[in-house]
């Protein structure tokens, strides 16, 4: 299918939906690296005008990656609900944008149509939106999940406590973990990126965090962010596994570069459910994604990086995760060059995930060779807070000394909660008050002693 648009005396032609989506994307270095981006702002404007006139039904008739070549496409097509799609089936992409932003389109309505919206549809409409549109529409679509506490309620913000250590030193990780808990972080998950993939190291970390959680009856969940096959091995060895982690992407070939298939994820999902470790819910998966992952694996099929990212959320949605996290600036400036591109990508990812029914958080981050700084991260943090993001990261000093990138700190979470009056997960909030870490208003209390006892580390 060809699409045409005229601006002045110049006529633009776009060969197929994949080309049109790429040319309509806001500028980003990854699409330029792949040779997919618009050659000028005029061409980008023409592509947006043409995209606005495309019927949503066109995305059901033309797959950006062929059905026969890609299991993610097959998942998207086979799981599409015609009944859920019916209320918007008559709309164009431009009309869909107006419908999403209308006051009459409420949270319940957005939840009802989610199974009828494909990732390509939601990626398309995001390309027509300003940042404020992405924020407003995402805010209307809370996605609530549960394991040992409740994540994603409107007016709440959770934090993944990330106490990484470059040598997986148990005492060092435990000290950072306790520090984060004393700042009221950790209700999304206590999640550790291990420096080693050895089963012994992974099991030791799982046991330490679970022993601590049980010793103080912390209403949260723990996770070691290793490859899904390592977690399956840990489960077989009897390790205390709460959440099963995996990085995912939006194409079959990109997922193959991670060493996964949809059938492997299904096996892991079933294994997590069989453990029955949740107390108030059974959302057992934790996924991470990031714009540029398909391109970096040369597995993008000529599809722009933001549309590939939206397709990853179809994979996530299939397995009912507790948490899905776009690690937005982690891959580097080759894919998101500067603070402006990172901010835009973070808002896009959150919007696309939420509208598809995925519980979205964001690692608000950048690498040290990107044209970005903590002021840019403050901006994105504040914007995502207003958009009702499910969770962010809590990293000691915002500087991850194992992964060597910059993220958000324990103090950053305090800032955005105070600014926007955002609460923690209710079960976790009650525990903090009972432990006298916070007062009745959720404010951190100054301690003369340590309610979590640092000498626990020595034991």
Of the candidates 334, 407, 403, the residue with the CA atom closest to the CA atom of residue 369: 334
Buried b (16+ CB within 10 A) or exposed e, 57-67: ebbbeebbbee
pLDDT at 459 over 90: no
Pairing label, strands 10-15, 2-7:
antiparallel
Instruction: Provide the pLDDT for residue 178.
Output: 94
pLDDT in tens, 292-306: 999 999 999 999 999
pLDDT tops 80 at residue 327: yes
CA 115 to chain centre: 19
41 has a pLDDT exceeding 90: yes
Task: Report the mean per-residue pLDDT for the chain.
Answer: 96
Lowest mean pLDDT among 99-108, 350-359, 398-407: 398-407
The strand pairing partners of 145, in sequence order, are 151
Q: pTM for the whole thing?
A: 0.96
Q: State the DSSP code for 405.
A: E
pLDDT, tens digit, for every residue of 258-292? 999 999 999 999 999 999 999 999 999 999 999 99
pLDDT value, residue 369: 93
pLDDT of residue 456: 63
In percent, the amount of the chain with pLDDT more than 90 equals: 94
Residue 458 predicted with pLDDT over 90? no
* Nearest Cα residue to 388 out of 168, 144, 103, 209: 144
> In angstroms, rounded to a whole number, what is the distance separating the alpha carbons of residues 101 and 351?
12
How many angstroms from the chain centroid is the CA of residue 140?
Answer: 17
* Closest by Cα among 262, 425, 258, 287 to 361: 287
pLDDT digits (tens, 9 = 90+) for 209-236: 999 999 999 999 999 999 999 999 999 9
Query: Which pLDDT score is estimated for 448?
Result: 63
pLDDT at 453 over 70: no
Whole-angstrom distance, CA of residue 290 vs CA of residue 345: 9
- Overall average pLDDT of the 142-155 stretch: 98
pLDDT in tens, 394-403: 999 999 999 9
Measured distance CA(131)–CA(288) in Å, rounded? 23
Q: Is the pLDDT of residue 447 over 80?
A: no
Task: Enumerate the H helices of 387-422 as residue ranges.
Answer: 410-420
Q: Determine what percent of the chain is predicted with pLDDT higher than 70.
A: 98
pLDDT at 454: 58
Task: Evaluate whether 365 touches 376 at the Cβ level (below 8 Å).
Answer: no
Strand 391-394 relative to strand 360-363, pairing? unpaired
Give the whole-angstrom CA distance, residue 4 versus residue 19: 12
pLDDT band at 2 (very low <50, low <70, confident <90, very high): confident
| Band (308; pLDDT cuts 50, 70, 90) | very high
């Amino acid at each position: 299918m060809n699409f045409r648009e005229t601006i002045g005396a110049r006529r633009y032609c776009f060969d197929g939906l994949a080309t049109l989506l790429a040319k309509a994307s806001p500028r980003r270095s990854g699409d330029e690296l792949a040779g997919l981006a618009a050659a000028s702002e005029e061409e980008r404007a023409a592509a947006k005008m043409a995209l606005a006139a495309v019927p949503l039904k066109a995305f059901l008739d033309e797959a950006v990656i062929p059905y026969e070549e890609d299991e993610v496409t097959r998942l998207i097509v086979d799981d599409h609900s015609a009944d859920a799609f019916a209320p918007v089936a008559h709309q164009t992409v431009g009309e869909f944008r107006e419908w999403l932003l209308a006051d009459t389109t409420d949270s319940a309505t957005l939840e009802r149509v989610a199974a009828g919206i494909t990732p390509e549809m939601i990626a398309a409409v995001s390309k027509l939106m300003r940042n404020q549109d992405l924020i407003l529409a995402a805010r209307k679509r809370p996605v609530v999940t549960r394991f040992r506490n409740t994540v994603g309620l409107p007016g709440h913000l959770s934090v993944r406590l990330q106490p990484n250590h470059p040598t997986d030193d148990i005492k060092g990780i435990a000290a950072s973990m306790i520090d984060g808990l004393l700042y009221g972080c950790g209700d999304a998950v206590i999640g550790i990126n291990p420096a080693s993939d050895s089963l012994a190291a992974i099991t030791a970390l799982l046991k330490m965090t679970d022993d601590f959680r049980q010793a103080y009856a912390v209403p949260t969940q723990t996770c070691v962010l290793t490859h899904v096959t390592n977690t399956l091995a840990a489960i077989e060895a009897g390790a205390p596994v709460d959440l099963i982690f995996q990085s995912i992407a939006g194409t079959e070939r990109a997922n193959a570069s991670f060493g996964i298939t949809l059938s492997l994820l299904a096996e892991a999902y079933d294994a997590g459910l069989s453990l029955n470790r949740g107390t108030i819910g059974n959302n057992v998966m934790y996924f991470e994604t990031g714009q540029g992952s398909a391109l970096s694996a040369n597995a993008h099929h000529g599809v722009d990086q933001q549309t590939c990212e939206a397709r990853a959320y179809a994979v996530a949605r299939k397995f009912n995760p507790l948490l899905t996290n776009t690690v937005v600036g982690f891959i580097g400036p080759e894919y998101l060059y500067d603070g402006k591109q990172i901010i835009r990508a973070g808002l896009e990812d959150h919007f696309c995930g939420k509208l598809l029914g995925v519980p979205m958080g964001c690692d608000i981050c950048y690498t040290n060779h990107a044209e970005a700084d903590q002021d840019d991260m403050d901006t994105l943090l504040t914007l995502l807070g207003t958009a009702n993001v499910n969770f962010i990261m809590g990293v000691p000093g915002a500087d991850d000394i194992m992964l060597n990138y910059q993220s958000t700190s324990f103090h950053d979470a305090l800032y955005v909660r105070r600014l926007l009056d955002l609460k923690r997960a209710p079960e976790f909030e009650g525990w903090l008050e009972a432990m006298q870490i916070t007062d009745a208003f959720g404010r951190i209390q100054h301690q003369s002693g340590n309610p979590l006892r640092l000498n626990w580390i020595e034991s």
